[in-house]
Homo-oligomer: A and B are copies of this chain.
Amino acid sequence: MKIEEAIQQKVFKDIYNKAVVNLLYTNSYIVSKQSSLFKPFGLSPEQYNVLRILKGQNGNPITVSSIQERMLNKMSNASRLVEKLKQKGMVVREECPTDRRQVDVKITEDGLKVLEELQEKIHILNRELISLDQSEIELLNNLLDKLRV
């Protein structure tokens, strides 16, 4: 759907402005569908993102600040997100033995189980979200990578 229809705006100042608006609107489109998927599992998109980072560690612990660096939204509060996930039993947190300022975080079996249950649903959702063919997706990924300085 053309962005002009989606937000009922006929003209844009220029194509730079239109691209920014288009990117922001597309984000909102993705996040709202992802939220609906995650909701029955008691997860927000950013909480899911933290879980996914932890799973990528293959059992190794990772510190809160490393989680923060890998997050999609660099401004989100990894400390509080980890706390929420801990309350749900999806992660454990323990003092790092080599540096007592740091906290090692690991995903639990329960956390892994939730990710497993979500896996196929996310796979399907991703395909629905990005209705482009393979070569178009590659083009999109390249444009996004180039766009950011």
Contacts and interface: CB of A to CB of B under 8 A. Distances in A.
A60 interface: no
Interface string A111-137: 000000000001100111111101011
B23 A30 contact: yes
Contacts of A122: 17
Chain A interface residue number, banded? 35 or more
A99 interface: no
Interface of A: prevailing SS: helix
21 contacts: A2-B145, A7-B72, A9-B56, A14-B123, A15-B137, A17-B122, A19-B126, A19-B137, A20-B130, A22-B145, A23-B27, A23-B30, A24-B30, A24-B45, A24-B72, A25-B72, A26-B147, A28-B75, A139-B143, A140-B140, A140-B144
